[in-house]
Structure 1
């Protein structure tokens, strides 16, 4: 299958280096923890000196006079036990690093460092870029050997007295680290080519930012729609009230212009004219004159009585 990844998707070198530094920091933390545990294991082993002294004395007793050889053998036994504890620590470190990288790559295609730097390992054998278990294991094994495997083997060989082997392993470890740090053609390292992978941008931060921006736009749109809906309700209520007022004014206008209203006005005017005419006719009649004269006389008498009372009181 053709190995092709669009160049814009490839992760830049500075991100890859920063991601490796984060992962290597985790490896150092694991190494410090294992070193502390190994220190306590060695101290616990040496603290059982009564048992060791008893064993050394028994070896001297059985040495048949070869006390130097017995002492040397006893020393090597003690050193061998300590070397075994140290070797177990190095092997545990290698296994921890391999398990960490394999689990991270098989699960999400990225370690913690790659996640923080927003890059991931992309498979060239899968259209979606998903890593198979075999690819994850190959890349995890190669990365583990370059990071800690060769150095651990060199340290174990040095403690075991294999100085030449230790030197060779140290040189191989340094060369492997340098060669893998230099991208080859296509921006892929030696480990990428061994595993059939490449490192690309994950785009997680960009997608998260885009999703947050879209959510903000949707929220602003919803708020705008709510405000628009409230304004529409207000306009609708105002239009209803205006229509109601117009309808009432229209009914009043129609009522004023109706025939019944005109007839009532005419009847009222006629009644008023008739009442006024009848009142004038009554006042102008002979009986009306008599009533007016009587009222005048009564008023004159009441005024005279009032003046007499006033004069008598004064």
Structure 2
């Protein structure tokens, strides 16, 4: 199948190396754990010396005098058993690394190191960039061979006494590691070309930050909207209250009781004015006016005499 054009957001070499270092640290942790388990298995095997001595003695008894050959064979048997335990540990490490790579790539398209560095493996044979199981298995196999497979084979050959083979395997392992660390054309490594993949930026942290910022903006906008809505509601309530009060005052002014009260006041004012005019026009009123005029004239004359005396 023809390969698609790689996406433009290709991961940098620094990010890829940092992600590989994190994953390799996990591999070293698994290797240390397997080494501890293997140590206890060897110690448990060697702790059965009574049984081993009995087996060795029986071999010497059947050696027909060739005690050196029998002892040598017994030693090789013990060494072979220990070598088998060590080889099982190396094989277990290879299987663990393959399972880790395959499960991570098939599930999320990234290992733990790539997740922490916010990068992922992108398929060049799928329009969506997703990794299928077969493609994940190919990349996991290639990564396992480069990271631990060749070194495990070299160590087993060394323990088995195959020194030349061990040296060749060590040289091949180092060469493959260096070759894979150097990006080829298009920024893709040897493992990428074997699996038909490339490594790109995942953008998970950026999307998470953008989502958090959008959520904060939305929450703030909602809060401001609620505050404004509350203010508008309060203003509408106050306006309605004022309108209700004005309506009550208007109704009170236009009520029958208010009209009657205004009429009574007007009638009382007119009656008071009419009574005052009638009193002034009566005989007693005329007499009181005449008396007031006389008193006023006398007071005026007395005032004038006093002024003349003083002068």
Distance 1:232 1:283, change over 3 A: farther
Distance 1:88 1:2, change over 3 A: closer
Q: Which residue number corresponds to residue 7 of structure 2?
A: 6
Instruction: List aligned pairs for 1:86-235, cutoff 5 A.
Output: 86-235=86-235
1:224-251 per-residue CA deviation (whole Å, 9 max, x = no partner) reads 0111011111211221122233334444
Whether contact under 8 Å (1:255, 1:261) holds in the other structure is no
Q: Give the TM-score normalised by structure 2.
A: 0.85
1:21-68 per-residue CA deviation (whole Å, 9 max, x = no partner) reads 000000000000000000000000001000011000000000000000
Secondary structure of 1:130 counterpart? coil
Whether contact under 8 Å (2:109, 2:131) holds in the other structure is yes
Distance in 2 separating the partners of 1:77 and 1:278: 155
Name which of structure 1's ranges 188-197 and 261-270 shifts more when overlaid on structure 2.
261-270
Secondary structure of 2:122 counterpart? strand
Q: Which residue number corresponds to residue 15 of structure 1?
A: 15
Instruction: List aligned pairs for 1:24-43, cutoff 5 A.
Output: 24-43=24-43
Alignment gaps of 5+ in structure 2: 286-311
Whether contact under 8 Å (1:20, 1:113) holds in the other structure is yes
Whether contact under 8 Å (2:7, 2:200) holds in the other structure is no
Instruction: List aligned pairs for 1:33-112, cutoff 5 A.
Output: 33-112=33-112
Distance 1:251 1:66, change over 3 A: same
Aligned-pair CA distance for 1:110? 0.4
Distance 1:172 1:275, change over 3 A: same
Aligned-pair CA distance for 1:269? 2.2
Distance in 1 separating the partners of 2:240 and 2:283: 58
Number of matched pairs:
283
Whether contact under 8 Å (1:101, 1:111) holds in the other structure is yes
Aligned-pair CA distance for 1:280? 8.2
Whether contact under 8 Å (2:253, 2:259) holds in the other structure is no
Whether contact under 8 Å (2:138, 2:195) holds in the other structure is yes
Q: Which residue number corresponds to residue 307 of structure 2?
A: none
Whether contact under 8 Å (1:23, 1:112) holds in the other structure is yes
Distance 1:73 1:238, change over 3 A: same
Secondary structure of 2:110 counterpart? coil
1:99-150 per-residue CA deviation (whole Å, 9 max, x = no partner) reads 0000000010000000111000000111111101110000000000000000
Distance 1:273 1:189, change over 3 A: same
RMSD value over aligned CA atoms? 2.3
